[in-house]
Each structure stands twice: as structure tokens, then as C-alpha cells.
Amino acid sequence: MFAEVRQKSEFIGQLLQPDDFEFIKIDHSSGDSKVAIELDQCSFSWGTDKFRTASTTLTVNAGEMVMIVGRVGSGKSSFVTALCGEMPIAGGSGKVHGRIGYVEQKPTIFDDTLRENVLMGQDFDEKFFWQIIEACDLTQDIQEMPERDLTKVGARGLRLSGGQKTRLALARALYLRADVYIFDDLLSAVDARVEKHIVDKVLSSNGIIGTKTRILVTHALHVLPLGNKIITFVNGCADIVEQTPKEVVDANAISDDERKGTETAPSETDTPGSTNKKKPLHSDEIDFGNPPVKWSHMLQFLRYSKYWRVAMVVSIYSANAYLMHYVSNARLRLMTDTNPDTAMRSLQQYLKVNALVAVSLYQLEFKNYSMRYHPGLDLVLKDLSFSVRRNEKIGIVGRTGAGKSSMSQALMRLVEPASGKIVIDGVDISSIGLFDLRSRISIIPQDPALFVGTIRENLDPLHQHSDEAIWKAIQLAQIADLLEIPTEKYIKPDMTKDLPDDYNTGGPWTEGVGLQKWVDYGGDNFSVGQRQLISLCRALLWRRKILLLDEAIANVDSKTDQIMQSVIRKEFKDCTILTIAHRLGTIMDSDRILVVDDGQIVEFDIPANLLKRNGHFALLVESMNQAQNK
């Protein structure tokens, strides 16, 4: 299947390749060249008046390891996307010698077995396959799966954690036997122990690809000494500087704050405007969103529908008339259909719930809670029982795939329990509506969702807040400068030929700034780190009593990390905070720390006591220190 998909995708790619754009040349037959990458005064751009990297001359020799660092939104992901031949050249020339293995920030996982997601249609080399699985630290994960490497991973890898998806994508790239490997925030979704394993077994000179050319985008500054060169992106526009790790430190190319950020995990900066948006082939799970339908498609549909349009209009207006009748009789129906006994029981239940809220000591409780993602699958959370006091700060840690993010999905009721319950303010969350539940919780997820529209519509979709309140939240989140940068977009005449004349401008229009700044579908015109700052702004605006941070600061540089942590500590001091983190430094000041392993609670205590026990948490801290010291 994958071989056929690859063949057809190459054909479609040739058809869609625009004639008026030039891309970097990739010579697949020159893998033995002594030079892996050559850039001669080369700059890249997504289009006229859009994001553009500065011209640079760069030579990367075969076998070298290059580190790419920089602040959130500085252009790191755009640069590596350009090296893969997906971002047009704006000036100069460039060439990559050999085949490329690419691991993107948000890996594409297909609804197939784990093995097929690695092979991608290639022949099965059992020895090499298991060698790669061990190097990517997937051995234990596979052993815990019901059918080992033949286990179906679900649409978009629904049954895998973020770290497992990343390591699966890494295994896929390694199995390709490429000449040049490009890793965009490879380490962002894994904990310190797994990071050390991947660095030793894959990235280092002694790793499985130690003789290949490796390019790593990262904010994990403790791994920089592994590189032969460092490319630093600064000032948000990709000013590239080629230096050795020692020269970068000596020249203060990296700030003191970043150098001290030994707990800093890598960033996960999305490429603005990237054309590399892979979608699942099909899905048997819930789809959380669909791309917007273009007006040209709608008009074309209407043109061919002819008389069916009349039937459609009649049916619409008929429905409207029935609606008016239904609404006008609503009060009468309420009086005639409501049983007085039922109404009294509802009132009693209302008073009972409010009494519970008033006297409940714990704001959040898991009571013998178990969860599985689909009937017939193994439990991912197993008999969890713990309580969180009001305004308590709880850190949640564990190895990748331990069940941390599953707990956040359980709390938001994205998945219903297999047994047990979750109680908030004395009320079982399964007994209340989803809107009521989620209106009590603010969440800053690992991959924030943004919608097509303005910044204001994204921050306050229900229009419940004033512009002044929104600007206050924006200033606290320190994204005001980001919103004041206008960007011109161009509409080609052939894209608007089916629209009325007043739409057919065929020229540029400037998007708004401030609250009217435009957000593309999925927030693709913002990096992942910037999207997380916008998500923080939402939380600051809504001010709910429970704040859930699911790897909320794993995708930003150390300076932005410090800003976010400072804002969260100050502005949410009267909230209950649950922080899911791989970066242990972000949860060491928590009131208590919950350690999860294989879907079970193995430790739950204050940090000082956990460190004294030499248990799971102490081992995680030791692994982190070893990785950073190395």
C-alpha cells in the first residue's frame, strides 16, 4: 500500500510543482560526496512579502553534525523545510547531496501497524528493524503492546503518546538509510532518560547514524557540544551565523539565561506557511476539525446543481417556518409537559450540588479511575485514586507513554471512563454537560488549537470580554509585539475567477494587526511556541479555577520559558494547577509531584520526600542530570 501511495504522491507532486518557483536541488545519486549541503548566498521565502530567510553561504561536510538554535518564531523550521526542498529559493543557489531522512515536529502516523509505519512499503529487514527499534528506545513500548510490532496504532497514532509518535517517526527515518538526516525538535517530546538514550544510540558519533550528516533543531543547549557547527537564528528573521559550539558561547551568541537553562527541553517551532501538511489517509476515530471550504468550490457546485437549487432553498425556508412555530410554542410546551414532581427533584438536586461545592475540601479527585481508548484495548489508566486540594500546584511526571496526557484527556472527558469517576468540586464530571465541565478548566496543551479568523476571535470566541481585558491578557503573555507585525497576502486572479467582480482583486491585501491580526487554518502562520503563548493568553483571559498545563512550555526557548513560568506563578496563584512535564525543573517547586508509570500511580508526595526515597522520581532526576552533565 505504501509503495503505491509513494508512487502516486510523486506523480501528484510533479503536477502540482509550480513552474515559477525554484527549490533547492537534491541529488539523490551523490550520497558519496564529501560535501553534504552547499548554500551560495541562498535565501528562502514563502512568497512575495512573506517570511524570508537572510542570504547565507554555508557548507556542511559529509558526516558533520550541525545544531540549529534560536528564539521562538525565528525561522529554524522554515530553514530545515527549505533544505528538504519544500520552501522556494528567493535568491542564490543551494544543493543537497544524497537522500534525506526528515523527522518533522508533528510526525505523520498512519492507521496501520507499527511495523508498517516504519517500513513505509520497503522490504522487511528483521535484524536492521530491531536494531533501529532498540536505538529509538521503542523496545519496551513494543513489548507492552498486545501484538508487539504488528499492533495497529490507530488513526493519526491515536493510541500512542507524543513521545512514542516522535520515536516512531525517527525509526522510519533511520530505516530509510539516508545520507542526510534532518531532525526538527526531535527531543522535545521525550524525557531526560529517553533523550540520553537517543543521543547515545542515534545522534552521537558512536550512534547508528554517527557517520552520516545530521542536522538538529533544538533548544536543549546541553547537547550543543556534540555539534561540529552551530547555526544561530536571531531577531526573528533567520540571520544565520556559522560557528563552532565554543565560539558561540565565547561570543555570547546565546544568552546567559539560555546557557543556564539546563532543564530546557527543545522547542517545537512550526514552519509558517509550510506546504508539508500531511493528513491521515482515513480515520475511524473522532475528527476534531475539517479544512474550510473555498467559495470557488461552492460556486462551482451551485453552477452544476441547476434545479436542485430550488429544492434546496424551499427545504431551507420550510425548516425556518417550522422553527418559528416551535419557538413560539416553547413556553406553552414547558408548562404542559413538565411534571411537578420532576421539577421538585431537580431543585433538590441543585441545592444538594451547591451544598457539596460549599463544603468540599478537595477541588479535584480521581476515584478508582480506569480508562481505555477503545473497547477491547488495554487500559491506559489503571485504578487511579488521588485528591488535589484547592489552589494546590501538582506536577505530573513519568516516562513517555506512561499515561500522563491520558490523564488530561480524562479530565476534559475526551474519553469516557472504563470504571471509576473524576470529581470536581464534589460533582462527578460524568453527570454534567461537557460545556459546563470545560468552562471550569483552562488548558494549555502541547499542540494548541487555533482557528481561522482574527486573534480576537481566537481569544474570545463568545465575545464575553472587552478589548481592554483582551489587551491586558496579551500584555501579560508578552505577545503584543507579535500582533503588531502586518503581513501581506496575495490573491491570484485564477483563484477568484468564480467570484463576483468586486471580489476579483487579483492583488495584495494587508492583514490586520493587533486584535484583527489574521490566523490561518490551524494557526500555521504562527510557530508552535507562538501558538502556546496565544494559548497562555486565552487562559489569562478566562481565569478559570483549574489550569491544566500539558507540556505547555516544552516548545519554547529558555527565555520564553522563564516568562511563561513567571506569569503562571503570579497570575494563577489562586488556581489549582496540574502541570504535565518532561522538563523536571518546571515542576520542582510544585506542592506535590505525582509520578505515573504504565498507567498507574507509583509515587505521590512533596519533592523533597520523593528525592529522599530513591524511587522513580529520584531516578528521573538522576537521568536528567546525567544527560545534562554529559
Look up residue 269 and give its three cell numbers.
Answer: 517551532
- Paired residues of 103 in beta bridges: 183
Residue with cell 545519486: 29
CATH value at residue 393? 3.40.50.300
Note whether 143 and 64 are same-domain residues: yes
pLDDT score recorded for residue 592 = 93
Of the pLDDT bands very low, low, confident and very high (cuts 50, 70, 90), residue 449 is confident
Q: What count of residues does the chain have? A: 630
Residue 367 vs residue 91, higher pLDDT: 367
Contact 553, 565 (CB under 8 A): yes
- Evaluate whether 207 touches 22 at the Cβ level (below 8 Å): no
Q: Rounded CA gap, 465 and 99, in Å?
A: 52
Do 171 and 43 lie in one domain? The reply is yes
Is the residue at 173 inside a domain? yes
Residues 110 and 241 both lie in one domain: yes
Domain match, 195 and 304 both: no
8 A C-beta contact, residue 396 and residue 404: yes
DSSP secondary structure letters along 506-526: -SEEEPB-GGGBEE-GGGTTS
Q: What confidence score (pLDDT) does residue 282 get?
A: 34
Give me the pLDDT at residue 625, please. 74
- Whether residue 616 is predicted with pLDDT greater than 90 in this model: the reply is no
How far is Cα 483 from Cα 456, in angstroms, rounded to an integer? 11
pLDDT higher than 70, residue 435: yes
Q: Output the pLDDT for position 256.
A: 42
State how many domains the chain has. Answer: 3
Same domain? For 322 and 239 the reply is no
Report if residue 108 sits inside a domain: yes
Position 498 confidence tier, pLDDT thresholds 50, 70, 90: very low
Q: How confident is the model at residue 470 (pLDDT cuts 50, 70, 90)?
A: very high
The closest of 293, 165, 191 to 595, measured between CA atoms, is: 191
Helix ranges (H only) for 244-339 are: 245-250, 256-260, 295-305, 308-328, 330-337
Q: Are residues 325 and 397 in the same domain?
A: no
**Which position has the higher pLDDT, 19 or 31?**
31
Least confident interval from 7-11, 27-31, 490-494, 498-502: 490-494
Note the pLDDT of residue 288. 33
- H or E segment to which residue 174 belongs: helix 162-175
Residue 103 domain-assigned? yes
Please indicate, yes or no, if residue 518 is contained in any of the structural domains: no
Task: Indicate the residue type of 197.
Answer: H
Note the pLDDT tens digit of each residue in 231-283. Answer: 887 754 555 555 555 555 454 444 444 443 333 333 333 333 333 333 333 33
Mean pLDDT for 81-88 is: 84
The parent domain of residue 218 ranges over: 22-260
Q: Is residue 512 part of a domain?
A: no
* 42 shares its domain with 150: yes
Q: Are residues 309 and 409 in the same domain?
A: no
What confidence tier does 516 reach under pLDDT thresholds 50, 70, 90? confident
Residue 225: the pLDDT is 83
Average model confidence (pLDDT) across the chain: 75
Most confident range, picked from 5-9, 194-198, 491-495: 194-198
Say if residue 193 is in the same domain as residue 317: no
| Amino acid letter for position 251 | A
Q: In this structure, is the dihedral angle defined by the CA atoms of residues 103, 559, 523 and 88, taken in order, positive or negative? A: negative
- In this structure, the answer to whether residues 146 and 44 fall within a common structural domain is yes
Flag whether pLDDT at 133 surpasses 80.
Answer: yes
Query: 468 lies in a domain?
Result: no
416: exposed, middle or buried (Cβ count in 10 Å: 0-12, 13-18, 19+): exposed
pTM, to two decimals: 0.61
- What share of the chain in percent tops pLDDT 70? 69
Say which residue, 533 or 489, is predicted with more confidence: 533
Q: Is residue 9 part of a domain?
A: no
Domain assignment of residue 265, yes or no: no
**Which residue type sits at 325?**
H
pLDDT surpasses 70 at 503:
no
Higher per-residue confidence, 106 vs 300:
106
Location of C-alpha cell 487554518: 521
> pLDDT tens across 49-63, in order?
556 667 777 888 888
Q: Is the pLDDT higher at 517 or at 271?
A: 517
In this predicted structure, which of 90-104, 189-203, 331-345, 566-580 has the lowest mean pLDDT? 331-345
317-323 CB contacts, 8 Å cutoff, 24+ apart: none
- pLDDT for residue 142 is more than 50: yes
**For 344-399, how does the pLDDT look when each residue is reduced to its tens digit (9 = 90+)?**
555 555 554 444 444 445 579 999 999 988 787 788 899 999 999 988 999 998 88
Q: Which three cell numbers stand for residue 309?
A: 437549487
Of these ranges, 20-29, 427-436, 502-511, the one predicted with the greatest mean pLDDT is 427-436
pLDDT of residue 366: 93
* Same domain, residue pair 301 and 162: no
Q: What is the pLDDT of residue 169?
A: 92
Question: Do 200 and 299 fall within a single domain?
Answer: no
Non-local (6+) Cβ contacts of 51 within 8 A are: 45, 75, 78, 272, 273
